[in-house]
Every structure is written in structure tokens, then in C-alpha cells.
Chains A and B, each alone.
Chain A
């Protein structure tokens, strides 16, 4: 395959999978938030913050997409790995791997949304559980963060600016 295929697949999968997962997560949490607000409008602020938590995975995906576009030269200048040499294919494949890492670990947005929605339910019954709810939801994000760390190392050391 040409390097461009690897590179654009990497960028697309990073932002695509993570973004889709985030929207699932936000969707689950948003449904719970709507219920909580119906119970008492004061829950709005707390519910909104909890609902926003599963959104971060899509941001990690977006950052990865931009980094991939940046290091491969698609953004600013021209595509650097146009020729299908051994080295360019390796670099393209590394970028695909990085994108896939972020995309797949971004799936953690779905369980995070489920935790958030339970947290929203808990907060509407007892507002004091707000911080605890956030911490529980933040647990699920750890995997996405590890994915981002891994991908960043792959991009920076494997390809470089």
C-alpha cells in the first residue's frame, strides 16, 4: 500500500473511532441528565459537567489526527512520504498504529458515559456525591490517556517533526 493510505487511515481511525465512542458516551449520559433536570432544574450544572466527561476521548482523537497531519506534512507544506520507499512505508505504518491506539482506547468513552449517567442519577438524589461521581468516571479515562501517551511516543520518536 502507498504510505498515504496508512497515514490517512491512521488519522481517520483516531478521530473517527474515538469520536463515535464519545458520542455514544455523551448520549448515554445525556439521557440521564435530561431526567435529572426534569426532577430538579438545579441539577443542570452538575449534570452538564458529568455529561461532558466522555467528550475528552474525541478530543484526544482530534489531537492525534492533527498531529498525524502535521508530522506527515499534509497540514502545512506538502505530503512528505509520497514516494513508496521502505522508510516512508514504515513511517506511514507507525502513524496508522498511533491513530489506531488512540481510536481503540477511545472506546473507553462508552463505559465512561455509563458511569457518568449513574453519577448523574446519584447527584440528583444527593448533590454531595458530585465529586465522587467525577472520580469514578475519571477512572475509565485512564485507558484513553495511556493510549494517547503511547501514540504520542510513537509519533514523536517513530516519525518526528
Chain B
């Protein structure tokens, strides 16, 4: 807690023949972040033939998987699929070497690829044909207004016949110009349709070169005349028969593709995942150094995993290996990857910290504090027992359903679960159950504060919470800087604000007669002097910055007023819904109490909407209070996140022969 995992540097030198297995082992373990070995005496390692093949197969396979995936029977969707997703079985693969894996994949592809490609090609050509027939039918429908045999619209030995459309206002000038250019050697039929003219023009073959520029000038839109004989009406019927035939064929091909998907899709995605992981290994080779006989790799690993890794490496290399383990040194500070370390209850909140950025190795990890304050702020802003209950139930279901996946939804639901607890707690404090629904029904509920009537009290509470939150931030910053030897900065940048806050706090208490005002002013004064000193280093701009930074602090503080505003917004919306419901509750049409039915629908729908919109607001603004106001006091988030060399296994599982 508060500190990230302790990291150590791992350096390994072994024989080339163990390289592939060793990399595979590390890839499956996924606890080492491999870094580039600085190459001076040796050379950089490069992928061999099989790694290159794996890379190209990975791309080819993913294309096939995409094609067949479109025809695969869909898994159960909907709410049930979202709440309780089925676990995907992982097929085991016994890994011997990359060579044998690539050969196996190639053997499989030899069988499957031509079959799939054939269906794909058939599918494409039939679809293209259908498109062409549809275009022809459209053209024929257009031409049908002319009632002219289609075969007459085809060019002959001496005549060039063009059909097309032209804008209404360009039609007459075009025909006039054509007549003039061709000295009257032109015949045409035309018909006006929807603000344009459909024209079929016949000219002599020898005149065509002269006519063409004129047609282009008036943006004559040409139409390709479909093959066939008879009037357009007759031809359309013929084409429609053709279309139905092709569509039937397409359905048959789709059936075929479905069968293929059934047969090959899972195996294909299994091999695709294997190849994808090989590709990743191939990319990692560039970070290794090698000689003719040996290779070297280096990387960072958490101290708690080191024993297991060393033991595994020794086993794989049969002891023919040199391993060096170094603790982190001050020189490495910028370089050490950060893996956050927190107890189970705070673990989900690492997501929020990581979204902003992880701390540096010598800084404090704020996750445990954030775990508490984030869910508390969320609860304070939502402030309704029933809303908390709804969110809690949904989150609990999601946690249960996604337990085997440990995915983003699972982590997020756990955060929501904690937040819903505080929401219910604050709901009880404010006596809010679907807003004032219970009070309206005449049931007395106990409460500590009435959010509406005691708005000022809520505001004061919000501001007190805010200043405590900021104080915690400055204190952490002070501790970190003091410990890391930046004592001057700790005094001027952090202690100054801590004193100012203590001063403000004591002064507020002195107004109530609890403490004396004089020491409060003195402490505030010292803090302010320290603050002014810190700004003096900015030279000429100091005066300006003193004003802007001080009011920046006040602004940050007042920003916590949103706790009160959103708490009131929740009870406000609930109040609005309850008022509307109680207004229509008593409406009756004859003896039928229609008001109750409509009222219930309005109540349930309205309150659910209110839960959703207010939860979104609480989520967003709790996040903002941490990222902007809280982290602004001490947190850089400039650390490098630990990104282990780790395989991605969704449908496959690797078993190693050792």
C-alpha cells in the first residue's frame, strides 16, 4: 500500500538453442518487462525465417477469421449476455518449437485456405453479378418511359447511339449545338422526367468525335444500355428472373460459408492467436543481443516474482545460464517500470490512478486514499438510499457474472459496488429514499440533514470535506518531497498551503469560540509568507503569480461546492418526479384509477432515469475532483507503467515441454 511493487533488474545470458523456449516461457509467465540490451560488443538479434513466417501467417489468418466470423452463429446477446457472459473454453496446445508450430499451421492452411478462398470468391462474384443486374433493372425502368425496343439503342456498324440524361435547362441548347456541329445529321428521342431529360441520340460513327465534346460540355450523364432484346418492360421481367436465381445462389453460398465457419472458425482463431503471440515474440527479439553461440536479455520484474522466474529459467536452460539480479538504484529512477501494489479492497481503484498516470518509483501511490474518497464523493453526490441500492444490485450482478473474465467491466463494477455503499449511507443520513417519496406517502423517516432546507449546511460540509481533501494532498506531497530530499520545495510549495489551510481552519473554529483567533492568523501568516517566497523565484512575474495562484487555490477549494450542488440536484430531480406523480395519482376515468397506472410507470421510469443521469454526474465529477483538484496538489503521474512481456490467450492455452 502507498508504495508500488519493489522491482529488480534481471539479466540473463544463455545459449542460443534455448532462446525460443525461454522467450516462450517468459511470454506465458508475463511477469518480466523486457528492455533493450545495449549492444556494443555483440549484435542485435533479428527474427529468423520461422518468426517471419509466423508474422505473415498471423495477418493472413486474421483475414480468414474475419471472413468466417461474419457467418458464425452469434453467441447469446442482450442483457443476459452482458451480465453473465459465457466463459470461452481455452484449447490447449503443446509447444515444442516455433518451427513445428509454423509447420503445423501451414499444413492446416493448405487444407482450409483453398476451401475458404473458393467460397469467398464465389460469394464476391455472385454479389457483383447481383449488383450489376440491379443496376440494369434500374436503367431499364428509366428507359421504359421511351417505349423503345432496347436493341434499337445499341450502336450498329454505321451508327453510334448514346443514351443518357441532361439537365432540363441544358437540353435545348445541347440539341441545338449538336445539330449545328453535325450539320443536322442527328436523330434523337427524348422524354422529360423529374426535372431532367432522358435522351437517346443517334449519330454517324464518323461524326462521333465531333459530337462527344458537345455532350461533355453540357454534362451529359451517360447510361450503359443493358444487353437483350424487346421493350424495357419485357426485359425487366427477364432480368428479374435472373436476379431471383442469383439471389437463391447467393443464399446457397452463404449456407456453404456457414458450414465452413462451423468447421474452421474456431480452429482458425486458435491458430491465429498462436501466430499472433509468435509475432509478438518476434518483435521482442530486437531487444536481445546475440553472438554466434549465446544471447542476452535484460528486463525488470517485481521482486516477489523473481524466485519463480529464476527457477523457471534454470529449468528451461538446463542450468546452462548466467543470471544476474540487481536491485533498483537511484540512477534507474526514471527507468523503473511501476506496478501498483494494493490490498484487495483498493485494487479496483488502481484503474482510476492508472488512467491519470502512475507515480514515479520514489513517490506515493494515492490509490488507497482515492479508493475511500472517490467512493465517498460519489455517494455524497448521489445521496439516495434507493439509487444506491439499484446501482449496488446491478454492480453486484456484474461482479458475479464477470468474475471469471476479470475484465474492465469487472473492475468498474467493483468500484461501483463500493460507491453504492456510500450512496446508501449518505441516503440514510439525508433521509432520502427515491427523494422524498416516503415522506409524501406520509411515512416519517429519520434524517440528520434535509438536503433542500439545509442547503447551506450541506454547502459548509462540502467545503469542509474539500479543504480536508486538499490538506491530505498537500501533506502527501510534503512527505514525498521531504523524503526525496527536495526540502526547499517541500517547505515553500506544500508546507505553505498546509499552514494556510490550518490557519483558515483555526480561524473558522475561533468564530465559534473554540480556539483563539490570534494563533490562527499567525499560522496563516507564516504559510502565506512561505507561499510568497516560493513565488519570488519567478522574478518579475511574482506579484501577478501570487494573486493568480492564491485565487487558483480558492477556486480549487470552492470547486468542492459541486458536492453540494449535485447532492441537491439528485434530490431535486427526484422531487420533480414525485410531484408529477402525486399530481396524476388521483386521476380517475369513471371508476378506473388510471392515475395509479400512469403514475407507477412515470415513477419507475423517472426514477430509473434519475438514477442513471445522476450516477453519471457523480461518476464524472468525483473523477474530476480527484484529477484536477486533488492530484493538482502533489501528484505528477509521470511514472512508467509496468508492461510485462505477456502472451494474450483468449481461446488457446500453451503447455510447454520442458
Residue B514 at the A interface, CB < 8 A?
no
| A134: chain B residues within 8 A (beta carbon) | 620, 623
In whole angstroms, how far apart are the Cα atoms of A152 and B565 in the complex?
8
CB distance from A13 to the nearest CB of B (A): 17
The smallest beta-carbon distance between B632 and chain A, in angstroms, is: 13
Q: What A residues does B562 contact at CB under 8 A?
A: 142, 145, 149
Q: A161 to chain B: which residues have CB within 8 Å?
A: 452-453
Answer whether A67 and B613 are a contact pair too, CB < 8 Å, given A135-B620, A135-B627, A161-B452: no
- The answer to whether A66 and B575 touch across the interface, beta carbons within 8 angstroms, is yes
Q: How far is the CA of A145 from the CA of B564 in the complex (A)?
A: 9
A156 contacts B561, CB within 8 Å? no
Chain A residues whose CB sits within 8 angstroms of the CB of B452 once the complex forms: 67, 156, 161
Query: Given A56-B617, A138-B621, A149-B564, is A66 in contact with B572 using a C-beta cutoff of 8 Å?
Result: yes
Please tell me if B559 contacts chain A, counting CB pairs below 8 Å. yes
Residues of A within 8 A of B576 (CB): 62-63, 66
Q: Does A60 contact B (CB under 8 A)?
A: yes
Given A146-B561, A149-B565, also A156-B620 (CB < 8 A): no
Q: Which residues of A contact B569 (CB under 8 A)?
A: 56, 59-60, 63, 148
**Within the complex, what minimum Cβ distance (angstroms) separates A75 from chain B?**
7
Contacting residues, chain A, for B459 (C-beta < 8 A) = 149, 152-153
Q: Please give the number of chain B residues whose Cβ is less than 8 angstroms from any Cβ of chain A in the complex.
A: 29
The chain B residue sitting closest to A64, CB to CB, is B572
Consensus secondary structure, chain B interface: helix
CB-defined contacts of A55 to chain B, threshold 8 Å: 613
Asked whether B455 lies within 8 Å of A152 as measured between CB atoms, the reply is yes
Interface residue B399 (Cβ < 8 Å from any Cβ of A):
no
0/1 interface trace, chain A 137-161, chain B, CB 8 Å (1 if under): 0110110011011001100110001
With the chains together, A139 CA to B613 CA distance in Å? 17
Interface check A35, CB cutoff 8 A = no
Contact with B along A29-48 (1 / 0, CB 8 A): 00000000000000000000
- Which A58-100 residues have a C-beta within 8 angstroms of B? 59-60, 62-63, 66-67, 75-76
Determine how close the nearest CB of chain A comes to the CB of B460; give it in whole angstroms.
11
Which partner residue on chain B sits nearest A67 by CB separation?
A: B572
Q: Is A5 an interface residue (CB 8 A)?
A: no
**Quick check: A153 and B455 within 8 Å, CB to CB?**
yes
Contact with A along B570-601 (1 / 0, CB 8 A): 00110110010000000000000000000000
A residues near B621, Cβ cutoff 8 Å? 138, 141, 145
Given A63-B572, A66-B579, answer yes or no on A56-B456 (Cβ-Cβ < 8 Å).
no
A49, A132, A149: the one within 8 Å of B561 (CB): A149
Establish whether residues B624 and A135, one from each chain, have CB atoms under 8 Å apart when the complex forms. yes
A23 → chain B closest CB, angstroms: 16
- For residue A52, CB closer than 8 A to chain B, the reply is yes
Residue of B nearest to A49 (CB): B616
Q: Give the chain B neighbours of A142 by CB distance below 8 A.
A: 559, 562
The answer to the question of B568 belonging to the interface, with a C-beta cut-off of 8 Å to chain A, is yes
Query: How many Å from the CB of A86 to the closest CB on chain B?
Result: 25
Report if B566 contacts A (CB, 8 A).
yes
**Interface flag for B355 (CB, 8 Å):** yes
Q: Which of B355, B453, B573 contacts A156 (CB 8 A)?
A: B453
A135: which B residues are within 8 A, CB to CB?
620, 623-624, 627-628
Closest to A144 in B: B565
**A87 to B61 alpha-carbon distance, docked (Å):** 80
Instruction: State the Cβ distance, B353 to closest chain A Cβ, in Å.
Output: 12
The complex places the Cα of A135 from the Cα of B619 at a distance, in Å, of: 10
Query: A145 near B561 (CB under 8 angstroms)?
Result: yes
* Given A52-B613, A62-B576, A148-B569; A131-B561 close (CB under 8 Å): no
| Cβ of A22 to closest chain B Cβ, rounded Å | 12
State whether B624 touches A138 (Cβ < 8 A).
yes
Contact residues in A for B613 (Cβ distance below 8 Å): 52, 55-56, 59
| Chain B proximity of A134: nearest CB distance (Å) | 5
For A49, A134, A145, A157, which residue has the most chain B Cβ atoms within 10 angstroms?
Answer: A145
Residues in B whose Cβ lies below 8 Å from that of A145: 561-562, 565-566, 621
Residue of B at shortest CB range from A60? B569
Partner of A153, one of B456, B617, B627: B456
CB-nearest residue of chain B to A160 = B453
Interface centre among B558, B573, B620 (most CB of A within 10 A): B620
Minimum CB–CB distance for B75 against chain A, Å = 16
Note all chain B residues with C-beta closer than 8 A to A139.
Answer: 624, 628
Interface code A106-148, partner B: CB below 8 Å = 1, 0 otherwise? 0000000000000000000000000110110011011001101
The 10 sampled A-B contact pairs (Cβ below 8 Å) are A52-B616, A59-B569, A67-B452, A134-B620, A135-B620, A138-B621, A145-B565, A146-B558, A152-B564, A153-B459
A-B pairs, top 7 by smallest CB distance, nearest first, are: A63-B572, A156-B455, A145-B562, A145-B565, A149-B561, A148-B565, A138-B620
Residues of B at the A interface (CB closer than 8 Å) are 355, 452-453, 455-456, 459, 558-559, 561-562, 564-566, 568-569, 572-573, 575-576, 579, 613, 616-617, 620-621, 623-624, 627-628
Beyond A135-B620, A135-B628, A146-B558, 12 additional pairs, beta carbon < 8 A: A53-B616, A53-B620, A55-B613, A63-B576, A66-B572, A67-B452, A67-B572, A132-B355, A148-B565, A149-B459, A152-B564, A153-B456
